[in-house]
Amino acid sequence: MFILSIIPYFGIGQNKITGKIVDQLGFPVYRASVELNATDNITYTDYDGSFSLSSTKDFHWKINIKSKGYKPESFFVLNGGNTGNIVLEYNTDINKLLDGSSSLHQKFYWDTWNKEILFPKSEHLLVGLFNPSN
């Protein structure tokens, strides 16, 4: 009787859901929230994008994934509890930045810095140096 009463304390009644969250380029997503649907059971991915959740339910689960800069995702985990890699898509703001259609593009890309910030239009300086009439 004693042995049967302590079995739940060792986690035999728990089922594990494991997986990895990556972005569209295959890089791990750090600190993405992974939540079992309709429960308070939530965890966050580590530096490698990996996560692990425990559940008393033993067949299939629905998990909700959220991270800043990405579209929210719902994913069904069926058998075995391993999701493999789940790919999150970038949200529209990040896509605009990557495509170069955002106003932030000029602040982050070297070609713009090279032209406008580091080497401003210097024709005025050169004309003054080489014009002996000044």
Domains located in the chain, CATH noted: 2-91 (2.60.40.1120), 93-130 (no CATH)
Lowest mean pLDDT among 20-24, 90-94, 101-105, 106-110: 106-110
| pLDDT score recorded for residue 83 | 92
pTM comes to: 0.66
Cα–Cα distance for residue pair 123/7, rounded to 1 Å: 82
State pLDDT tens for residues 57-84. Answer: 877 899 999 999 999 999 999 877 889 9
73 beta partners: 65
Angle ∠(12,81,65) on CA atoms, nearest 5: 120
Nearest CA to 38 out of 15, 61, 21, 22 is that of: 61
Q: What is the mean pLDDT of residues 113-127?
A: 55
